[in-house]
């Protein structure tokens, strides 16, 4: 009778350097694997391969869940996760892994930080990525849609887009936010439905685009910031 063969894999976890990060405890399969992690640190642990279990992040010393996800460990090798958490930014979630990004591209995730004045409570939206067509003068859908763009959550989709077109001109990306129930796009208090993505300044970068609001001339307008990681 042959001995049973066991497989082990490594789980690598890193926290990204964000301001306002509070200490975190990390659990895997209901067992604590790290205490009081801050921003910009990393660690790893070994676990049996081929199992499905929950990787969960809690505020240190409490039972307050920050974010969790169900993962399946490989039979061998490693699987990596990056955690973005900032009370200051209102951001929490798992980020895409580090990859090599071409200098003519930008890679990003979306974080919904809209206030109620721009996205009323109970209104569920999708975020549509568009671009300005300089020939037609129209906004054109790229086909990239962030379905279920939820308030105070980092959307799990990670996308990479070219920064320039075939002529070498910068592509002017915008977002529109569709009310899932009505099919209509949200508008700010200036009756504008577009939010400029501002990606031309982030060639070869990976980061988070945080949608928000800016108060200007007595009214709220769509705004966004790019958090480079």
2 within domain boundaries: no
Both 207 and 171 in one domain: the answer is: yes
Please give the model's pTM, rounded to 2 decimal places.
Answer: 0.76
- Tens digit of each residue's pLDDT (9 = 90 or more) over 40-90: 999 999 999 999 999 999 999 999 999 999 999 998 889 999 998 988 877
175 within domain boundaries: yes
Residue 97, pLDDT score: 64
Domain interval for residue 131: 105-228
Q: Final residue of a domain: which of 95, 123, 146?
A: 95
Residue 1, pLDDT score: 41
Residue 44, pLDDT score: 95
3-state SS of the chain is CCCCCCCEEEEEEEECCCCCCCCEEEEECCEEEEEEECCCCEEEEEEECCCEEEEEEEECCCCCEEEEEEEECCCCCEEEEEEEEECCCCEEEEECCCCCCCCCEEEEEEEECCCCCCCCCCCCEEEEEEEEECCCCEEEEEEEEECCCCECCECCCCEEEECECCCCCECCEEEEEEECCCCCECCCCCCCCCEECCHHHCCCEEEEEEEEEEEECCEEEEEEEEEEC
pLDDT of residue 2 exceeding 50, the answer is: no
3: pLDDT confidence band, cut at 50, 70 and 90? very low
């Amino acid at each position: 009778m042959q001995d049973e063969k066991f497989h082990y894999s490594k789980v690598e976890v890193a926290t990204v350097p964000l301001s306002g990060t509070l200490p975190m405890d990390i659990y895997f399969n209901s067992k604590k694997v790290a205490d009081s992690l801050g921003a910009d640190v990393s660690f790893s642990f070994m676990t049996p391969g081929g199992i499905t279990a929950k990787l969960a992040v809690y505020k240190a010393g409490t039972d307050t869940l920050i974010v969790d996800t169900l993962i399946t460990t490989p039979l061998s090798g490693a699987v990596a996760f990056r955690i973005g958490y900032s009370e200051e930014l209102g951001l929490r979630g798992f980020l895409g892994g580090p990859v090599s990004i071409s200098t003519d591209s930008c890679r990003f995730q979306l974080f919904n930080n809209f206030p109620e004045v721009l996205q009323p409570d109970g209104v569920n939206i999708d975020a549509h990525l568009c671009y300005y067509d300089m020939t037609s003068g129209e906004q054109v859908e790229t086909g990239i849609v962030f379905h279920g763009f939820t308030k105070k959550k980092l959307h799990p989709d990670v996308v990479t887009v070219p920064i320039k077109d075939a002529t070498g001109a910068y592509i002017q990306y915008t977002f529109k936010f569709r009310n899932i129930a009505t099919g209509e796009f949200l508008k700010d208090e200036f009756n504008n439905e577009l939010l400029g993505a501002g990606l031309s300044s982030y060639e070869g970068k990976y980061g988070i685009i945080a949608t928000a609001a800016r108060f200007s001339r007595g009214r709220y307008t769509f705004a966004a910031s790019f958090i480079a990681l």
